[in-house]
Homo-oligomer: A and B are copies of this chain.
């Protein structure tokens, strides 16, 4: 808290009030875009609509971003890292994040119904695949980080096996959530999330929920 206050004061001393204000506005625009992109897709809304939600008008946008693609890169990037944040929150709460807890939260109904605050990969991967090189480079880095995080939650295995299992886990989580959201059948949607979650937590047995 003390650190936080000193940061704000430093910003004001070094940057002046309006620059700090601009940065706050910039972050607000990115936060809104980051949520709305996950909810509506990378082409799901226009700049005017975004700026209106931020309490601004369309003309101000280009003092913050050189182009719409700039916003996409920054907002997608800011959508990344949900596992890292979950891990830090769990640790500061005294209960370190477990592999099973990560899986259960990912496969939860709350996550399925709220893409705007959830994993950017299950919400956007195919659209990121069609984005510019810069966004895809940022995505490479994030996949690498998330794999390391998953490997860290899989102790007691040799490094190579843990990496393989992390890659399978990551892929299955993203695919299961993308499929579960794409279908209208509630029962099948829940079956996919529960089945994949159980098998990922207990890969030895193929028999789950009995």
Q: List residues of A whose CB falls within 8 A of some B CB.
A: 40-41, 43-44, 115, 121-130, 133, 136-137, 139-140, 143-144, 157, 160-161, 163-165, 167-168, 170-176, 178-179, 181-185, 188, 191-192, 195-196, 198-200, 203, 206-208
Contacts and interface: CB of A to CB of B under 8 A. Distances in A.
Nearest to A131: B182
Given A41-B43, A175-B173, A188 B126 contact: no
25 contacts: A41-B127, A121-B182, A125-B175, A125-B179, A125-B182, A126-B126, A126-B181, A126-B182, A127-B127, A129-B178, A137-B185, A139-B183, A140-B185, A140-B188, A143-B182, A161-B206, A164-B207, A165-B206, A167-B196, A168-B172, A170-B175, A171-B175, A172-B175, A174-B174, A174-B179
Each complex incorporates copies of this chain amounting to: 2
A133 B179 CA distance: 15
B175 A195 contact: no
Given A126-B127, A136-B183, A136-B184, 10 more contacts: A43-B43, A115-B126, A122-B175, A124-B126, A126-B181, A137-B184, A137-B185, A140-B188, A168-B200, A170-B175
